[in-house]
Structures are given as C-alpha cells and as structure tokens.
Structure 1
Amino acid sequence: MTNRLMETSDFRLLIPEEIWLEQEDYDLAKQLSEIEGTEDKKWQAYINLLGMFALEKWLKENIYTQDIQRIIDRIDTYGYLQRKGFKFCLITQEDFLQEGMIVPRELIYNSDHTAHFYVAMEVLEEEEIAIIRGFISYDKLSQLSLPTIEDNNYWLFLDYLDPEPNHLLMTYKYLEPSTIILPQNIVNQVQENVQEAIINLSNWLEGMLEESWQNLEQLINTDAGLNFATRSLSEEKKVGKFIRLQMEFDEQIFVLLLTISPTAEDKLRIQVQLYPTNNQTYLSSEIKLRMYSKSGKLVKEVIAGKQDNYIQLPPFSASKDRQFKIEVNLNNASITETFRV
C-alpha cells in the first residue's frame, strides 16, 4: 500500500460541494440580468446570479438563517452576499478548466469592493448545478504575489483556495468581522484619530486662505505642470490644493479646485473640480470625486473615465454655516476635506 498526501486538486475533485439550482433561481436570474450592456455582460450577470443564489441557499441551510443581504450593483462582474458584518464576494465561472480565475484589481485594493471572503463558484447551467470550488479570506489574498494579466487584473490559481467549504462556516462562526481588517477599516481608524480641520469658505471671499490652499494664479505659477481649462468671472474666487494619494508603488498628485461666488440669496455657489498634474493630459481612470453631508451621507459622486481631462461635481448653492465633505478616492487611497460656508 502506498501512502501519499492527497493533492489539493485531487481533494477538490473527490468531494465537490454541489448545490442544485431550481427553476425559481433561473427565472429570477433571467429577470435581474436584464441590465444595460452587451450580451456577454448580460450572460455573465446571469451566471453570477445563479452562483449567488446557490451560495445563498447553502449558507442559509448551514448557518440556519434567512437574514442574508444581496449586493448586485456590479453583478456583470461579481456580486456579494452580506451577513452580520461579514461580506462574501462571489467570483463565478462556467468552468475552471484553466485551474484559476481572473480577479479584478479593485477587489483587492479598492476599499469599496473588498470583502472578508472570496468564494469561487462554478455554475453548470445546463446540468442545474453550482459547485463551491474554494474560498480565501482577504488577509490571505492580499498577501499573495499574483501574476498580472490584461487590463491590470490578476490571475488567482485554484490551489491558493481552501477547497473545504466547512472551513468557511467555521471561520464565519468563530471570528468577528473586525478580525479580518479591510482597507476601509484602516482608513476609518485613522480618520477617527485625526482632529478634523474645517475650512471656512466665507473667509476665502475676504482673501484669507488656510495653509496649503492657493489662489488659481499661484497654482498656475507653480512647476506642477497644470493644464487648467477654466475661466474666471469677476466675483468668482478659485482656490485649489495639491492632493497627494499614496498608492501601492508610487504617489499620485492631483489638484482639488473649488470655485465659489456669492448669490443674490446670500448663499455661496460652489463648484468642485479635480485636475491632473505633472503635465498629464488625463486623470487616472476610476478616480472618484465625492461629496458627503455633515452626517456622512453620500450626496454626489463622479468617477473619471479613461480620457477625462478633469472631473467635476454638479454646482450647488449652500446657505451660511452649511457643512459638507469632499473626498478624492483612488483604489484604497483617499483624502477628505471638510468645508463650512
């Protein structure tokens, strides 16, 4: 008799966790996959939804709860399930013949898209079966040196995954969500320990600027290689600041520019824009410019495309003493400024 350790791939093939798909799963997946985009995107959304319904069914049967939330706003690429603070990201394919899967970069480095667990689901649509191929936690995934493929995405081999679904249940049962620290958790902890500086926009009209904020003319006269497409009216005040985002391998610098002017209703009209520096023609794609209310509610958001010279939030008017926040976010790096009229 020959003794040998069972290879991970052998173990996966011997005891796959199969979940049967039902007609109601197909009907709902067909309905929810009617999204904007190409037929390929709609089909991938359909497959992703079937994988989501299967994993949801499996979780409900094994953790004895019906309280699981679906998040499907990016379902043409991936989807999420959420339960008691834990977030499960599904990476679904029709087969795993290549023994791996594409992982979008944002799933690892963008705090808006990270999850506590990443679950590989195989959907055999005609056979009416979904199979859990394995899972990996964020802390382990983020430590891997994954090969980069097209569009700056990564290739994740199946051998990096834990093929035993029961280990996922045990981890969920005995760990708290805070045990697996996501990028957003780190940002929140830092922000909680930093005393918030509030910038008074009314002072700008009197020529009083906070440290690191400069008039438009001063910004143009720097050596930052700015390409502004802006014009000034007599009562407008244009003030900007260099925003430095520390990325994984380098630092990216942008200019946050605010244009303010008084209105007849004793309010301030405010325009917020974001520009590239260093003679760059375009902003980094996927960089986000966001506005939050004083309470932290997201009010407006603009995301840069591949060839945007700048991005801007819709102009708005604010009464005296109104407070709001502006955030610049790229991947897992962000800067927030707080303003008061």
Structure 2
Amino acid sequence: MQSVSESLTFTIPLGLKCRTQAEKFSRKHSNPDKRQQVYANTLAVTVVKFYLHCIGWETEWEASLSYNPLMQGLMDVADLQVKDLGKLECRPVLASSQTVFIPPEVYENRIGYIAVQLDESLKTATILGFVRRVTNNGEIFLSDLESLENLVSYLHQIKQSEVLKKGVSLNQWFENLFENSWMALEELFSNINDKKFALRSISSKREGNVARAKIIDLGLQVGNQSVVLLMAIAPYSKDQVEILVQLHPLEGKTYLPSNLRLNLLSELGENMQEVVSRSNDNFIQLKRFRGYSGEGFNIQVSNGDFTIKEAFFI
C-alpha cells in the first residue's frame, strides 16, 4: 500500500459555483454545527462529482441522500450516486487531520469511501484516495488510503460484476462485444452452413444477424456430457430484437441426450416456452420470440435433477 505522499491525488480550487451550492444547502439548517457539517460535506461531494466527470463516469447527485435537505438534517451524509453502480461516500478531511472518520449511518450501501482534504481557507480541495470498505470503527488513517490510480479499475470491476448479476447484454452483441464464454460459431461447428442453423432468415424485417454459442456442461447426472447453447439475434424494429435459441450436441456427436428440456422463462421465472429432446434429435430450438430494449428473460436447460439457467437482457 502506498502512502498518501507517494500516491496519485487530485487537487482543484473550490470555485464560486461549488461554494455557492454548499452555502445554499447549509442555510437550510438552523443548528450551527449542522450547517458547518453540511457545508463541508457538500464541498466534498462536488469535488468528487467533478473528478468522476473528468475521468468519464456519470453521477446522479439528485438521487443521493446528500442532496436532500431532510436527510442532511437527519444524518451525517455525503454520498454521491454513480450511475448504474452505487454510492460513493465523499468524506471531508481537515488539513491537520491524519485520519478520516466514517459515520456509522453510512457503513452500508456504499461501494467505497473517498477522502477529500479541505484546506483551512476552504478554497482548495484535494482528493487523497479511497477505501473499499469501513474498518476500525469508522476511523481510517490517511496513510491506509488506496491510491486514486486504482479507483478507475475498481469502478470497472463493480460495473462488470453488476452486468454479470443482471445477465448477458444482447445489445452489446450488435457492437461486437461478447462475454468470454460466448464463442463464434466457427469455433464450435465445422459446418455452420447446415440447414439446421437456419440463421439467415431469423428476421424477415432487417439484416444484421449476430450469433454466438456457449458450451453447457450437463454434469454427472447426464453422463458428463456437454451440449452447445446457440443464441442468434437480429434487429426487428427500432425498439425490438428477434431472438432464436437452439441446443446442439458438441462437434463429433450426432444426437442430443434424450429428455433434455430447453425453456424460455420470464424475468420472474414464468415458463413461456418449452421443448424436450428425443433420442434422435440432432438439435432442438425454441420458437422465435421478440423482446423490447430493457427487457430481460432466462434460458434454462435441464434434465432430471440437473438445471442450468442463463440470464439475458436486451
């Protein structure tokens, strides 16, 4: 861990706009101590907001507790919502302090804590670094802060984990952005011109088909076999995508295992479609379906006690 003196920091002047916003919020509170607290917290938030904008991250301050005068009065809060990621807590630090204090009320629902040092004149602020979680009863030594050099990669890690939680983004496929487990058909099939794929006619409205495939390990319950889940998409209208889902045996195998179920489920788990393989099926597929941008669904493959489910969103 680098010390603060060796780490990347970010210093900016606290301009009129920044100080005016802090004054505006502080005036809503009659208690002098609370006014001072809100003033310092607001300065810290505006500095972090500016910094994140500089490095390409969108924020939603209006959706944060620190923007709400009622919550300012009830809590010692300096949160800043980072769009689609979560909240960063922006804690002000006096120039003479060696630690940053994290109030108990902000221990949870934060993706990180950023220390912002304010000079004595409150005309300059320096972002010293951050921590990912709270330890030591909320008191963090400035020498233990993680460098800002690591903040961008940390935010990207969170973004990726949120994408994985939500599922596979099909719209990204149109931009040739694919998850590592989803491979080009040529990597898994030697003859993708076979009639069974029927991908060229997925959409009668527009061209622009994209198809990828993923190996599904069926596990011990199905004799350690694997199959290939194939997903093909095409634009149908401005807001709709047409989707084709197939299940194939691995290259070198002629038929799928029998009684293998392929299901389309809604986001809430409602069964929308089902097809079951027979002993002589060399592939099975769901009826083509369409979805609107922002919608999600699940594809499930099962056989007896074995079930695997993959989440997708458009």
- TM-score over 0.5 for the alignment? no
TM-score normalised to structure 1 length: 0.41
For normalisation by structure 2, the TM-score amounts to 0.44
Higher gyration radius (CA)? 2
